[in-house]
A and B are shown apart, each in its own frame.
Chain A
């Protein structure tokens, strides 16, 4: 049971296509941006500049970056509360995300959403949602709207493996399959729902097999390999756009940090050794190595990229720190359409 989920299955991607070098390098940049952003967010949280809950994405960067790379600009995205990485990968600026974490008016949700409720409707980024599993039916509804309007968009829903034991997951996937909706349910299996290991919460170890209940296409994906993630997502996107059918992707990944900033990285529920072992498959190190081996980048290039994103994150931090709070009269705005 303690078997490393992130290590299997083996990557399906072999060589890299030189024609896509720019895109491949951009994925590394995005993953680095998320990593450095999250490290800075952790620091800001410790300084009291970010309040409430703050769930970091460190360790899972390849999932958001690889999967979102397969989407188009009109597609719909919903996430759980661990969504800083998805927001950045979708193209919300580091400034707007950091400012939201700081609760500032310039944040992507006007300082009213916070870490768990990032929105940018112009990018189809329709929320971080704070109740485990509850956003899964929303994505089904967005996919329903796509079918209703007969467009070629897809609706993607990101959630953790703990959400699959929730009734909302079952209800949402059943309807998506029943009605043949262009939805992609992307389960980020990071092995732990807070401190409860998958095998202590789910009677079925292989989450992908749950799709069989709905006669739904499914796939197990190595989430530490950004190209593998992209390729699997691309297949699911084609299935949704062309065949108008949903997919359940079980993406095996690992959270390197605690559940939230208030939680320990290891302790009662997992060992330090396990975390250290998983860190050997750090998705950024894995992808950097691939790029270097393929001759698409060198060590100096990776360092330069890292320096560039560090500066972007520092800029976002300064921006968020100095940005004004929402005006007091914002308190009562946006409750209803007419104020």
Chain B
């Protein structure tokens, strides 16, 4: 296995799927000539030409709609949003067109499209560029929501998303693009809808996804030196949620903390907690706690920003609470 960056893993997935299937094309701002705002599409224009790597004007609603229309007649677009913050302009297209087309047409017209780009906060980008919207999209029947945390998952999940016959919201992490990890050589596909245990443990389950996987792993390491063996469960796909894996882990550890980057109200974690209390109430030895981003627009100041983010200290504190050690 070779160690590659998350960015290059995504690039490999795009290249392989475009080579495998003529109907796959990439469209978005700066994906071609500029080689991608975050260089995920580096080299693809040269390899596949301007009809399959399409630079757009800054027009999120418009090119999201173009992708959906193309998908309605059988192409498999990968629509890149420079960030999911900008995709707010396209929410109507994602919610009213992409998510509902199959249902409104009683199965006649599907939308096999992937909408991808970085979500969540990076560093000091301020309130409008530092937002995690996965719970918005996960709320919508008809959409799938995928959020890889590692290079291997980024590649394998993007390949699955491109092959999927439904619209997939694929949220990457700007802070993850440079992270390195081992990616299996050759055909590597990770099915949608399957969580992954990133660290086995027996005392508490840390449910997380995307950037909070590394937060949970760091917390687990610290807890380990303190005699607590935490299990880190990476959801990988937010919708459909892998309820079975969540419940199996909770049945093993009897304690759970759910971590996410986004805001607390009606967040992904709230859904996970709902699942656990309904299906595993008798397994629990403590209430399930959540660690989220602060319930505020993101401040610019770096100390304030750091205080607003989920971090290992907040996770270990929550774990200590569910273990009744505080």
Contacts and interface: CB of A to CB of B under 8 A. Distances in A.
Interface in A308-339: 333-338
B65 A172 contact: yes
Nearest to A131: B96
Contacts of B75: 145, 148
Given A171-B62, A175-B57, A175-B63, A141 B166 contact: no
A78 B66 CA distance: 13
B59 A120 contact: no
A163 interface: no
Given A140-B65, A337-B165, A145 B70 contact: yes
Q: Which bucket holds chain B's interface residue count?
A: 35 or more
B277 interface: no
A338 B105 CA distance: 15
A141 B67 contact: yes
Interface in A232-272: none
A335 B96 contact: no
B2 interface: no
Contacts of B105: 109, 112-113, 117, 119, 121, 127, 334
Contacts of A175: 56-57, 59, 62-63, 66
Q: Which of A111, A127, A130, A336 has the most CB of B within 10 A?
A: A336
Interface residues of A, number: 44
A27 B63 CA distance: 36
A337 B102 contact: yes
Contact of B69 (A137, A147, A167): A137
Q: Which of A126, A138, A335 has the most CB of B within 10 A?
A: A138
B59 A171 contact: yes
A140 B93 CA distance: 13
A137 B65 contact: yes
Contact of A178 (B57, B97, B104, B106): B57
Interface of A: 76, 78, 109-113, 117, 119-121, 126-127, 129-131, 134-145, 147-148, 155, 167-168, 171-172, 174-175, 178, 333-338
Given A138-B66, A144-B69, 8 more contacts: A112-B103, A121-B109, A138-B97, A141-B65, A141-B70, A148-B75, A172-B65, A333-B107
